Structure 1
């Protein structure tokens, strides 16, 4: 079982209505991405961290470890916005390199910070959903939203095969290490190629076996799964509505300020 899947089933928010958690995460992500508002992004980042760590029971160390990966990617990705190579220094910073400068403008620094905060807060909201909601509950929400049945069943089967492929890959890697299949670079490349080909063959065999098993159990084109019912609570709905309203107000502030400035200029 994946670590994220273990966190889902041990979370204190496991039995909170899945529709509430999905709406909170997706609505917050949409508002942050559309508005690019720094206050809204900070609020969402703090709220997601609080809910996951304090309410969900996940340790702050584990939460920071998961957040480090997207943060590192964002810092590397925004370097192209932040740093420029120019013959003339800009107003934020300038490091001389021969006759050129590694320099950046204040506008670029602000744009990079805005991009990092927006992306990081969106990732934190999706992590909140992933760490506190099992995949079966998410699929139940998608089914309630009237998504195509074929799409939901494909997602369910894909999710199931992730564990099967990881288990097979782990067993094959252990077998290769026991036979010194990674003793040098050349042998390691050859072993990885063999692992990929055998993993593909085993995946096809397991897919065929799964279909045969489903046919033997009177499969009629629809996968039926027992779903746990966790009714929504009025207090939780009200809290989500208040939070999204505050987030919407923070998201609209830049547009309101721009409109006021344009009116004053006219």
Structure 2
């Protein structure tokens, strides 16, 4: 029953993203004409073919890693990562060779499960964590890969292209907001509201008021559900790492970074983080890890 509930909840959180992509395609077809729709579909298909070729059929992991800001392990890093990875994949019962290990040069605690079966950790994690704690972090990232077939991951990335393009366009004016955290958050909210009003004003004569209302509602709702889906994925990967036998080590690794986690100075920033952050607060993750280990 719990697994059914988890699956149903995950599917429910994907619906706004699927609906928004469909509405965006509808807007182009109805609002801008057949040729605009054909051009969009050709570009979308071409991008999907190029992405599949680069990340699946003929993966060039070096270029993909560079695009994500990763570098090759150097010095003692290859041996450290290889030893930890061999232990993790042995415990998980999977072949580790299809995966490639990378490093992000950063003084923060983070790790990544990127397309084309890439796994990356920050240089801080390699330098600061104990071997078993580093293995626990790698187990968490391997869990992300195991929970979702890489072909499904590629399809998800391709189908989400329209939404990503709209997000990118909307983020351009928001980057101009400056000032302390609370003021910057308010400024970005004001810019987002102004953009939504402009979209409604521009599109209503073309596609009608009801369609615009649905579009605006999805533009507001989709970032919230996408962030919630990402947070669920983090909790699920933590639980799988615990089941692989790394509960105590993952708990210890997260506790090492807990003093560095940003403390929100206002209720507004805390609310924004609660609804829009893609990673749960470390304290929440620690509770889930303890609860999972106790069951």
Per the normalisation by structure 2, the TM-score is 0.26
